[in-house]
């Protein structure tokens, strides 16, 4: 544990935390755009800046240290955040997220030349990082300089995309477009069909590609993923009913515990997942 | 009887999540879904063999039973005390 001071108040922090982590834990508002708690700190947008010993630092990449004295509301911090927002607003004048954030700092219009013809991407790389952590890396930053944007290899339909929509669902500016129906999805110009439930044949909420990919990643059988919730729940209910009515030795064995233990465990709601869940 | 999460010892949902969003709360024994870490990829929802991870239609959030952080409301309100938490 280390003690740090934020805006004059002392907080306990754990080693390895960043200043932004501590601020979030204690409801101290620090705006952030390229930060996502599931991902490694990135430090690109500079929205989360704070002041430490007269210097400006990105709080999302700043590790806590003993006796740090952080300011989140100083004039210097406000000025730098305004500069950042002025630039972002020039890059994507129509992004609701950026407009809202800018308004909090009293900015309604950029003083620079607004880039009207562009989408709302702020190049925070949340999408590419989410996709990389999944293990797909289907999208990347393409082109250079002011032409930089997020795209697919050679601008084609991305071969490694599994249609999980995580890139789009986590984009802070809702730039990535997708279409969704019960039967399928389209994202990055690639069409996906939803996988069928192996029991009732209804469409599940995963694409066929997701089923194959998630099974491989987790080491679980594909049929775990290709099952609709309704059938999964029905099956579980039937298995439970069987257990209660007829706690047969073979089921007990499959579930890996004796009846006496089952009673105790089931009530404390922590039974053991069978290594192999057998379907009737 | 409704069936909610079994808080499996060798949980499929945890194996499926690539973002460390599903972890066991050592105090309650429950597997909790940290919404801030969840990227909404649907892997856990697909993985649970019992259909116990849900996608809330209106909010788009992924949710599962967390034993109400140690005080299960379902057990508290169950009129016949069929549900018990010990
Ligand atoms: S939808 Fe495709 S590109 Fe987007 S995160 Fe999923 S796999 Fe990656
Ligand atoms: S598309 Fe969205 S998530 Fe991806 S870099 Fe641009 S703003 Fe960030
Ligand atoms: S959500 Fe499903 S897999 Fe995860 S612990 Fe609960 S019952 Fe087990
Ligand atoms: S939906 Fe959220 S909790 Fe579930 S596997 Fe994906 S990131 Fe993890
Ligand atoms: S009421 Fe609480 S303990 Fe009961 S199923 Fe819902 S989340 Fe779990
Ligand atoms: S959130 Fe810290 S630099 Fe983007």
Can you list the residues of chain A whose pLDDT is less than 50? 249-253, 256-280
What chain B holds in terms of domains, given with CATH numbers, is 12-76 (3.30.70.20)
pLDDT value of residue B86: 66
Q: How many percent of chain B have pLDDT more than 90?
A: 66
What fold does the segment set A2-104 form as a domain?
Ubiquitin-like (UB roll) (3.10.20)
Among A238, A269, A271, most B C-beta atoms within 10 A, so best to mutate, is A269
Beta-carbon separation of B45 and A205 below 8 A = yes
pLDDT value of residue B2: 59
Would residue B9 be called left, alpha or beta, if left means φ above 0 and alpha means ψ between -120 and 50 degrees? alpha
ipTM of predicted complex: 0.90
The 10s digit of each residue's pLDDT in B71-82 is 888 888 887 777
The 10s digit of each residue's pLDDT in A166-190 is 999 999 999 999 999 988 999 999 9
Beta-bridge partners for A203: A196
SS3 at position B78: coil
Q: Does A36 touch chain B (CB under 8 A)?
A: yes
pLDDT value of residue A269: 38
- Residue A205's nearest CA partner among B42, B62, B33, B22 is B42
**Tokens 């239609």, residue located:** B57
Q: Flag whether the pTM goes above 0.80.
A: yes
pLDDT at B1 over 70: no
pLDDT at B7 over 80: yes
Beta-bridge partners for A151: A140
Q: Number of CB pairs < 8 Å for A and B?
A: 124
pLDDT at B28 over 70: yes
Give the integer Cα–Cα distance in Å for B54 and A170.
19
Which residues does chain B have within 8 Å of residue A235's beta carbon, measured at their own beta carbons?
50
CA dihedral (B62, A210, B15, A252) positive or negative: positive
Question: Which residue from B12, B38, B60 is facing A224, i.e. has the nearest CB?
Answer: B12
């Amino acid at each position: 544990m280390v003690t740090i001071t934020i805006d004059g108040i002392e907080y306990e922090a754990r080693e390895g935390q960043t200043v932004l982590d501590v601020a979030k834990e204690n409801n101290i508002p620090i705006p952030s755009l390229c930060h996502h708690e599931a991902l490694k700190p990135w430090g690109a947008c500079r929205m989360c800046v704070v002041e430490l010993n007269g210097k400006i630092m990105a709080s999302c990449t700043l590790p806590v240290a003993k006796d740090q004295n952080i300011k989140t509301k100083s004039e210097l911090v406000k000025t730098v955040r305004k500069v950042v927002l002025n630039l972002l607003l020039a890059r994507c004048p129509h992004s609701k997220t950026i407009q809202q954030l800018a308004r909090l700092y009293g900015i309604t219009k950029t003083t620079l030349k607004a880039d009207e013809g562009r989408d709302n991407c702020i190049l925070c790389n949340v999408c590419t990082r989410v996709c990389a952590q999944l293990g797909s890396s289907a999208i990347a930053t393409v082109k250079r300089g002011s032409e930089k944007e997020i795209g697919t290899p050679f601008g084609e339909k991305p071969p490694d995309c599994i249609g999980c929509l995580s890139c789009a669902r986590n984009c802070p500016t809702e730039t990535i477009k997708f279409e969704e129906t019960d039967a399928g999805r389209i994202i990055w110009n690639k069409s996906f069909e939803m996988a069928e439930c192996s029991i009732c044949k209804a469409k599940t909420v995963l694409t066929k590609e997701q089923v194959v990919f998630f099974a491989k990643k987790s080491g679980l059988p594909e049929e775990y993923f290709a099952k609709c919730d309704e059938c999964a729940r029905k099956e579980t209910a039937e298995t439970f009913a069987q257990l209660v009515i007829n706690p047969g030795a073979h089921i007990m064995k499959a579930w890996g515990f004796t009846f006496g233990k089952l009673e105790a465990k089931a009530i404390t709601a922590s039974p053991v997942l069978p290594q192999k869940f057998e379907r009737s | 009887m409704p069936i909610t999460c079994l808080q499996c010892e060798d949980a499929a949902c945890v194996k499926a999540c690539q973002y460390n969003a599903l972890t066991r709360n050592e105090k309650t024994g429950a597997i909790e879904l940290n919404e801030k870490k969840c990227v909404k990829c649907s892997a856990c929802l697909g993985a649970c063999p019992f259909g116990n991870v849900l996608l809330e239609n209106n909010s788009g959030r992924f949710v599962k039973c967390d034993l109400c952080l140690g005080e299960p409301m379902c057990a508290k309100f169950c009129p016949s005390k069929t549900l018990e938490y010990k």
